[in-house]
Amino acid sequence: MNSINRRSVLLAGLGVAGAGALAACNSASGSGGTPGLVSPSGSAVTRVEKKRSSTGKVMKRSLTATSVRLDLGGGIMARTWAFDGRTPGKEIRLTAGDTLAAELTNQLPDKTATSIHWHGLALRNDMDGVPPATQQAVRAGAAFTYRFIADAPGTYFFHPHVGVQLDRGLHAPLIVEDPKEPLSYDDEWVVVLDDWLDGVTGTPDEAFAELKRGMGGMDHSGMSGMGGSSPSPESSGGHDMGGMDMSGGGKDEMSASPSPSDSASGMSMKFMLMGANSELLGGDAGDVKYPYHLVNGRVPQDPDVYTGKPGKRVRLRIINAGSDTAYRVALGGHKLTITHTDGYPVEHRRTDALLVGMGERYDVLVTLDDGVFPLVALAEGKKASGMALIRTGSGSKPSSTVRPEELDRMIMSASELRAADEVRLSAKKADRVHRIELTGGMDTYNWAINGEKFDMNNPDASPLRVEEGQRVRLDFVNTTDMWHPMHLHGHTYQLGSAGPRKDTTIVLPKKKVSVVFDADNPGQWLLHCHNAYHGEAGMMALVAYAS
């Protein structure tokens, strides 16, 4: 099998709290906890962990988070943070039922605290990696061992859950193999997509500081879609600068670094993206201006290459590790057969292209033709793309700006899929229903859930309560003018009555999406937008089990 290139560059961890608040956390031991709620290390958590199917095998891994200078290809260097000096970090691959014992050593600069969140896994709550809700942050110079049974096969990944570290380079795939794998294929290739600015135009923290100022101080004359609630999805996008292209480049955005800053009414515009519009996403496509979009850590001019043979059937495990970008993915000259999303099997569907939101994963099968073919990740609505290559024979490398016609044919998203019979939830009336109203906007950058900005200093102040054994329905109601990929920790929900099983789903502007799950994993679990900047601004809530 092909491994991901050692120089590959990836994502990091999803935003949560400042280091000071994390250091002050005292809930990590799980011995205390909030009265009336299951503690992250309580007896209910231990009881469920003991019931998980286990092989008895323990895989030990050491992960060191450190500062590194990365080669993105094409002579482009970036100073960022990564696991063990490379990004993506080395893939972790184990068999369902194995125990993972991963020791994280924090060697990040400037006394920076960090953690690891195991994205998509239903694991024990105190190993979920969300300071201060489930553990204390791992302080600089310290270490922490994550130990849990990974009992659900699938394509996952891991990243920090502190601040906007999601948008740095700390990330790696986590693949849990099925010992009774039903699919037949010859090889597989893990494909990680990422939007990149760290160490090139600035840092994620600088980008977030600019975004937090919002659009309220700008001169809105001649602009539409700037405010928090005024524009409609039918308008020309959430950040329309009167026809000006403020995306940091034209058709070939990655041919050169963008200008360091733009301005409107004297306001710095170094990181804020204007004019990003997508019909697929219901309007505004994103907030942040990225100089590069990467596939397996490489820019399109110097792409990662998978080498195979014509006629072979390959499983692609596609992970969107980006922070602000949905990708439309297609392989030139090929059809894709979707087999899984977010680790769970679906009824197989053939398509030309996929729409993949941040935090989502898709497994697809493809039978390779003879030649050289571009795997293109179009940054949806952002006039830019990432690219890797599949080579099975002779032929020249396509242009870094190639746009396969498959990108404009049949485009499939999760809402069009159905869960496979073996994982579809039984029909059952919901015991508990929570309305999850997505609120806020760009005007004051006040993203929230039910109008309440999440306070990481007091994460269990107003939890969404559930009880073990309940069937729970979450009604995501997007009142904003932007799309949001909503991620639930520790569980896999189902879209509607027969849709796919997922942990992250796209909620379009002015739309409602209902999901259901069985409350079978006690603890305190974060529910949030997987746009790193929306989440850090406050679009989070805590789903907590009553004790």
342-400: pLDDT as tens digits: 999 999 999 999 999 999 999 999 999 999 999 999 999 999 999 999 999 999 999 99
For residues 37-45, give the mean pLDDT.
Answer: 97
Strands 267-268 and 336-341: unpaired
Length of the chain: 547
**pLDDT of residue 221 exceeding 70:** no
Binned at pLDDT 50, 70 and 90, residue 269 comes out as confident
Q: Is 475 exposed, middle or buried (0-12, 13-18, 19+ CB in 10 A)?
A: middle
Q: What is the pLDDT of residue 151?
A: 97
**Residue type, position 377, single letter:** A
Q: What is the pLDDT of residue 215?
A: 81
pLDDT, averaged across the chain: 87
Using CA atoms, how far apart are residues 127 and 134, in angstroms rounded to an integer?
Answer: 7
242-253: pLDDT as tens digits: 222 223 333 333
Q: What is the pLDDT of residue 454?
A: 97
Q: What is the pLDDT of residue 84?
A: 85
For residue 13, which of 88, 72, 84 has the smallest C-alpha distance?
A: 88
Binned at pLDDT 50, 70 and 90, residue 37 comes out as very high
Q: What is the pLDDT of residue 260?
A: 39
Task: Calculate what percentage of the chain has a pLDDT beyond 70.
Answer: 84
Binned at pLDDT 50, 70 and 90, residue 231 comes out as very low
Using CA atoms, how far apart are residues 457 and 20, in angstroms rounded to an integer?
Answer: 9
Q: What is the pLDDT of residue 1?
A: 40
Using CA atoms, how far apart are residues 402 and 387, in angstroms rounded to an integer?
Answer: 9
**pLDDT of residue 230 exceeding 50:** no
For residues 167-182, give the mean pLDDT.
Answer: 96
> 176: which strand partners?
94, 154
**pLDDT of residue 471 exceeding 80:** yes
Q: What is the pLDDT of residue 525?
A: 98
53-65: pLDDT as tens digits: 999 999 999 999 9
Q: What is the pLDDT of residue 22?
A: 33
Using CA atoms, how far apart are residues 69 and 90, in angstroms rounded to an integer?
Answer: 17
- Structural contact between residues 125 and 521, judged by C-beta atoms closer than 8 angstroms: yes
Query: Which tokens belong to 406?
Result: 């498959």
**pLDDT of residue 20 exceeding 50:** no
**pLDDT of residue 182 exceeding 90:** yes
For residues 118-136, give the mean pLDDT.
Answer: 98
**pLDDT of residue 507 exceeding 50:** yes
For residues 256-261, give the mean pLDDT.
Answer: 37
For residues 499-519, give the mean pLDDT.
Answer: 98
Ranking 234-243, 440-449, 485-494 by mean pLDDT, the lowest is 234-243
> What's the pTM?
0.87
For residues 34-57, give the mean pLDDT.
Answer: 95
Binned at pLDDT 50, 70 and 90, residue 267 comes out as low
289-329: pLDDT as tens digits: 999 999 999 999 999 999 999 999 999 999 999 999 999 99
Q: What is the pLDDT of residue 268?
A: 64
**pLDDT of residue 157 exceeding 70:** yes
**pLDDT of residue 498 exceeding 90:** yes
Binned at pLDDT 50, 70 and 90, residue 434 comes out as very high
**pLDDT of residue 86 exceeding 90:** no
Q: What is the pLDDT of residue 216?
A: 66
**pLDDT of residue 530 exceeding 90:** yes
Using CA atoms, how far apart are residues 124 and 118, in angstroms rounded to an integer?
Answer: 11
Binned at pLDDT 50, 70 and 90, residue 258 comes out as very low
Strand ranges inside 125-208, DSSP E: 143-150, 154-159, 172-177, 187-196
